[in-house]
Structures are given as C-alpha cells and as structure tokens.
Amino acid sequence: MSTADDARRARSGRRPGSSGTRDAILTAARVRFAQAGFDKTSIRAVAADAGVDPALVHHYFGTKQRLFAAVVQLPIDPEVVLAQVDAVPLDRLGETIVRTVVGLWDSPVGAGAVALVRSLVAGGDVSLVRDFLLSVVLERVRRRIATESDDGRARVALAASQMVGVVVTRKIVNLQPVTEMSLDQVVAAVGPTLQRYLTGDIGAGPPEPREP
C-alpha cells in the first residue's frame, strides 16, 4: 500500500471528532505491544483491536516505531537519533552516539524521559522498552558494525551499558562531577569507550602471565 493510498484512506476514514479514535488506537497498541512485544505487533492487528482501518493508524502515527514511541511516551522521535547514526563514518560512531544521546538528555525533552526511566526501573514494563531498544535502536547500530565473523550483538549491548550508565549518573542519580561536565567533556571521555566497544578489541585474548 502506498503512502498516498494511506493518506487518502486516512482522510476519508477520519471522523470529525478524532481524539477518541486516536486514544482508542493508543490503548489497543499499548495492550498489543505489552502482550506480543514490539516485533510481533503489527499495525494491522492494532487497527483490528481498535476497530479502525489500518490507514487511520498510519495517518495518526506514521510508522510502528512512532506508534511505539507514542505508547511509551518517548519524548523524542527515535528516528532523529538513528538518522545521525547512519550518516557518520564508522570511526566517528562512538563520539556521535555519545554526543547525540547525551545532548538529547541534556535538552528540555530529556526531562520527560527521566520519569520514564524511573518508572521502568521501578518495575514498569522493562521488557517492552528493552525489546524496542534491541529491535530498533541497537539493531540499526549493529547492522553498521557487523562483520562476517562478528554479529556485533555484544558490541552494541556494551555500548548501551555505557550510555545507560552515563544517563543514570548524569540525569537520575546526579553523581558529581558527571552531572557538571560539559557535553564536550563527556564526549571526549566516553566517546572512545563506545568506539572501542563498537569497532575495537573487546575480546579476552590470551591470558596475561601473572607473577606467582
């Protein structure tokens, strides 16, 4: 189905008072995503659950990724970050990811995300956001770095561990002086960590001899 088709059907299907429809789609999507996970949820199934035409879902939310972002109330469109990841050369991936992610958390939209992280770690539906992180965000980075002998899964997960740590210490726990460092300082310190995780040597290698 073309985007033009979608738009036409969306226009014809939209009712005058449309906020109820949008809410019904969101509610159906929330339940579906929670039950089936990100990968196994389709726009078509969400539309069926909400009793609307799939074109309406596309009309209101665009892609499944954006529908998900609306359900978990992500304060930004993940595509903004991912487009940057696709655009940079491989050897600048580390600093680019650090600059983009920490920059976003430092911006006004980041404040909304703090509440999301708190509720998730407190026992909210971690698996849903983790699925999304794995399926969409990390997967896009992984595809850039995968080689024939290394699928890159461990690499992107390690990179994620450092980004989670920076965001939690800088934005949630407020651990000084991580909180006070400028964005440039964070990029200088943490960028090389991500670069090594993504494209450097992360293996154990032969055990080093130790003094007895």
**123 near a copy of itself, judged by CB under 8 A:** yes
Task: Strands of 66-117 (E only): list them.
Answer: none
* Residue 3 makes contact with a copy of itself by CB under 8 A: no
Cβ neighbours of residue 191 closer than 8 Å, sequence gap 6 or more: 94, 95, 98, 99
Does residue number 160 form part of the binding site for a copy of itself (CB under 8 A)?
A: yes
Residue 180 φ/ψ, nearest 5 degrees: -85, -20
Nearer to a copy of itself, 86 or 184 (CB): 184
Query: Exactly one of 27, 42, 63, 119 binds a copy of itself (CB under 8 A); which one?
Result: 119
Residue 133 interacts with a copy of itself (CB under 8 A): yes or no? yes
Question: Are residues 57 and 28 in contact, defined by beta-carbon separation less than 8 angstroms?
Answer: no
Using the rule CB under 8 A, is 63 a contact of a copy of itself? no
3-state helix, strand, coil in the chain (%, to 5): 70, 0, 30
Residue 87 touching a copy of itself (CB under 8 A): no
Q: Which is nearer to a copy of itself, 54 or 94 (CB)?
A: 94
Tokens of 2: 């073309």
Cα 117 to Cα 37, 53, 184: the distances in Å are 18, 33, 24
Answer for which of 88, 117, 145, 146 binds a copy of itself (CB under 8 A) is: 117
Q: Does 83 bind a copy of itself (CB under 8 A)?
A: no
Question: Per CB under 8 A, does 166 bind a copy of itself?
Answer: yes
Told to check if 72 binds a copy of itself by CB under 8 A, we report no
